[in-house]
Amino acid sequence: LVSDTAGYIDYVYVDAFSKLQEAEPFRTFTDDELIQYSVGGGKMQFAPGTSQKYSHTDNVILGQVIERATHETVAQLEEENIFKPMRMKDTFFPSNEEIPGPVLHAFTKERGVYEDCTYWNPLWGSTPGLPISNLHDIGKWGPILGTGRLISAAHFKEQIAPWKGNKRPDVYFAYGFVVANGWIVQNPAINGYSGAFAYNMTDGVTITVAATKSENATTDFAAFDILREV
């Protein structure tokens, strides 16, 4: 699940889900609903372990596995084991769709009209992607993730290693992020927002970018485009 080799269909590409999410952007989706969109048809993208492709479904299922194994929520676990000990005081799980100000407002034209989508419900993006943060805390997160500060050396080596079927040693998807030419990279996008994060494992440089869409935007990943230029 963590390496996205489980083979589950990504529910964001299921037509019934995408139409409902677009029609009702403030709707709350439960984990069970999201998983059902993926498995309801009884099909997989590929047999488990035979290929690799990013899937939000893998993240949702992984979150349920973690919660059942620990008897705690992902929110509790991340607060206790990451945010609090690492003094990421501006990073937390939201209780609703509100984002504390000051906030970069997000805009999109995906419903046919250019509109503010800042407070659309983000629950469809899967539990691991829900925490609210700011550029300062994400910058602080760079060396925490990029040096394996919270895990053993053996686990960190496993975390940043390529999947066994990977054919490109310079660019590959590891455990929840891309490793590209010595950089750990993530490029999330949700509800009109795009983000970009990069940590250089050689010199310790961290870069964070946040962006939204202009009315004539041609990409969902403006922040990543900026990151690549930097």
CB 126 within 8 A of CB 60: yes
Q: What letter represents residue 162's amino acid?
A: P
Question: Is residue 107 within 8 Å of 115, Cβ to Cβ?
Answer: yes
Query: Tens digit of pLDDT for each residue in 27-43?
Result: 999 999 999 999 999 99
pLDDT at residue number 97: 74
b/e map 6-44, b = 16+ CB within 10 Å: bbbbbbbebeebeebbeeebeeebebebbbebbeeeeee
Residue 200 is predicted with a pLDDT of 97
Question: What is d(CA 181, CA 162) in angstroms, rounded to the nearest whole number?
Answer: 13
Say yes or no to pLDDT of 122 above 80.
yes
Report yes or no: 131 and 91 within 8 Å, Cβ to Cβ: yes
pLDDT digits (tens, 9 = 90+) for 65-113: 999 999 999 999 999 999 999 999 999 988 777 788 889 999 999 999 9
Which of 3-12, 44-53, 159-168 shows the lowest per-residue confidence on average (mean pLDDT)? 159-168
Q: What does pTM read for this prediction?
A: 0.91
Structure confidence by residue, pLDDT tens digits, 124-178: 988 766 888 988 999 999 999 999 999 999 999 999 999 988 888 899 999 999 9
What pLDDT shows up at residue 95?
74
Residue 146 sits at φ, ψ, to 5 deg, of: -75, -15
> What is the per-residue pLDDT for 128?
63
Residue-wise pLDDT for 176-192, tens only, equals 999 999 999 999 999 99
